[in-house]
């Protein structure tokens, strides 16, 4: 993937890059707004839809399984096609890929606001996730080829990161406000914004010469088998409680999943331009970062899903009140985003990941004290603060660790892989959680705990504990090898 990126860079004059001495003109700022706006929309959409789920469930008479797919279809489309999106950006041109993907995102948003069929809604959510899978690597590529390495690029990337965090945080508030008008409003609003970004992007995103490509340059079968395998795994886990864990359909689904993912591995081993070079997985740092990312986001997505249903369906909190209840997490992430670079310079990423996972674990454990009569400051606020700390420590550290020590020509692959793990981990753990709480979650009596809620949060806590334990073992091994290395030296 990186080799294609270098090809495009070589075809652009070096003077076109914005460096520390270049004055940032209005067109440069507009370009940055367009690229950052697309990432902002991705975070905004995930948060707004999460807030709208209970209202949608009541309006369309959807159970927890269907609501879970509204979330999972997006993250599977995103995670399953992210590596293909990066390859397409390199080969087809970042400008074209970015503008087409954002357009599809906007059109799918508008269309989904007028549908009532759950299958159609889920399909459009998958399309939106797939669009994001092409938008994000193309947007990053636009930044790295517009701003020269150093102060200018760091400044642009810092703004880009803050916009992503802000979108996820403010999406809770916007989602609450819009859901008060109706859940369809939360689905509709990203559409016009996306189309406005496309109109602006047509004017300011520079064109670049690109080489001729054929289908052979793309690992389409690899993308299809990996995405199909992950979707089948999620579907099998969600349906297992109803059909039986030892039923023919469940066992058949698990076997088919194994076949699809094995086929993916075989394709990647033999394809001349694989989406995933399997040899990169020999890096212990990269493996740890990917596992930690899956644990972090999987736990949070599942907790937010369960807590959202509990607050709105059991405690009858209005959507806006629920959004404000979750807001401290996002505010902490936004406030810390500009300071994490200095922290990463001072502390080992594994220790920061360990601290973040510990914060997540403690937050989930504190929530287990919940009872319908407890006030917000007792049962939810401490958890929200700890989850914010966990995100602030984990997210940049995981991304930094995933790319540390990786060759320059595979930096894009390592970055795409860790983001894939984060999204796929979210979908798989959410599927497990949905299977635990069962179909009765959306029909809970007022003032009662959700069926299976305590068990679900306990499982999320257990997954976080495993991630933390593996991180502690890695830290211990690192300490044990340092004296040996010094002795050999």
Residue-wise pLDDT for 233-271, tens only, equals: 878 887 777 788 889 999 999 999 999 999 999 998 888
Polymer length in residues for the chain? 489
CA 117 – CA 392 distance, rounded (Å): 38
Q: Which among 66, 16, 78, 81 is positioned nearest to 42, based on CA atoms?
A: 78
- Longest C-alpha distance within the chain, in Å? 68
**DSSP secondary structure code for residue 434 in this structure:** H
pTM to 2 decimal places: 0.79
Name 374's Cβ contacts closer than 8 Å, sequence gap at least 6.
Answer: none
Q: Alpha helices of 113-208 — where are they, by DSSP H?
A: 118-146, 151-181, 183-188, 190-204
Token pair 């460096």 is found at 19
First to last CA, the chain: 37
**DSSP secondary structure code for residue 282 in this structure:** G
CA 438 – CA 459 distance, rounded (Å): 14
Token pair 């504990």 is found at 465
Give residue 405's region: left, alpha or beta (phi > 0; psi -120 to 50): left
Q: Which among 140, 155, 201 is positioned nearest to 19, based on CA atoms?
A: 155
φ, ψ at 147 (rounded to 5°): -110, 130
CA 254 – CA 244 distance, rounded (Å): 13
Are 114 and 206 in contact by the 8 Å Cβ rule? The answer is: no
Residue ranges in the chain modelled with pLDDT below 70: 1-23, 149-150, 154, 208-217, 408-412, 439-445, 447, 482-489
Token pair 């094995």 is found at 262
**DSSP secondary structure code for residue 450 in this structure:** P
Q: What is the reported pLDDT for 463?
A: 96
Is the sign of the CA dihedral 16, 19, 24, 27 positive or negative? positive
Tens-digit pLDDT profile for residues 388-445 = 999 889 988 887 888 777 776 666 677 778 888 888 888 889 888 888 887 655 555 6
């Amino acid at each position: 993937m990186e080799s294609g990126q270098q090809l495009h860079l070589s075809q652009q004059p070096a003077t076109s890059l914005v460096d520390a001495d270049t004055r940032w003109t209005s067109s440069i700022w507009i370009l940055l707004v367009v690229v950052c706006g697309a990432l902002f929309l991705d975070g905004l959409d995930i948060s707004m839809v999460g807030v709208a789920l209970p209202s949608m469930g009541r309006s369309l008479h959807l159970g927890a399984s269907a609501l879970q797919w509204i979330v999972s279809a997006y993250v599977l489309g995103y995670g399953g096609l992210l590596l293909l999106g990066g390859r397409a950006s390199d080969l087809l041109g970042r400008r074209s890929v970015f503008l087409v993907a954002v357009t599809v995102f906007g059109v799918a948003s508008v269309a989904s606001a007028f549908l009532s069929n759950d299958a159609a809604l889920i399909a459009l959510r998958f399309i939106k996730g797939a669009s994001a899978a092409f938008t994000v690597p193309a947007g990053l590529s636009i930044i790295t080829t517009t701003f020269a390495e150093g102060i200018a690029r760091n400044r642009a990337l810092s703004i880009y990161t803050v916009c992503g965090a802000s979108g996820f945080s403010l999406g809770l508030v916007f989602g609450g406000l819009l859901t008060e008008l109706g859940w369809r409003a939360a689905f509709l609003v990203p559409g016009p914004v996306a189309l406005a970004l496309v109109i602006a992007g047509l004017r300011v995103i520079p064109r670049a010469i690109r080489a001729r490509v054929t289908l052979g340059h793309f690992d389409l079968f690899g993308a299809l088998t990996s995405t199909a395998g992950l979707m089948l795994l999620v579907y099998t886990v969600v349906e297992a409680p109803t059909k039986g864990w030892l039923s023919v359909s469940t066992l058949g689904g698990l076997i088919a999943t194994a076949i699809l993912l094995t086929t993916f591995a075989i394709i990647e081993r033999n394809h001349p331009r694989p989406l995933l070079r399997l040899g990169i997985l020999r890096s212990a740092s990269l493996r740890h970062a990917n596992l930690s990312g899956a644990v972090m986001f999987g736990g949070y997505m599942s907790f937010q899903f369960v807590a959202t249903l509990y607050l709105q369906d059991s405690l009858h909190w209005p959507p806006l009140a629920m959004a404000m209840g979750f807001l401290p997490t996002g505010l902490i992430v936004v406030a810390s985003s500009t300071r994490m670079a200095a922290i990463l310079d001072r502390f080992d990423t594994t220790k920061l990941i360990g601290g973040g996972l510990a914060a997540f674990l403690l937050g989930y454990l504190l929530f287990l004290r919940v009872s319908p009569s407890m006030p917000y400051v007792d049962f939810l606020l401490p958890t929200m603060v700890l989850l914010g700390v966990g995100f602030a420590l984990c997210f940049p550290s995981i991304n930094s660790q995933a790319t540390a020590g990786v060759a320059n020509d595979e930096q894009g692959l390592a970055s795409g892989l860790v983001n894939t793990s984060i999204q796929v981990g979210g979908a798989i753990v959410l599927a497990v959680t949905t299977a635990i709480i069962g179909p009765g979650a959306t029909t809970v009596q007022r003032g009662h705990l959700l069926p299976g809620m305590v068990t679900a949060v306990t499982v999320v806590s257990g997954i976080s504990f495993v991630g933390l334990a593996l991180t502690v073992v890695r830290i211990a091994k690192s300490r044990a090898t340092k004296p040996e290395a010094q002795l050999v030296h």
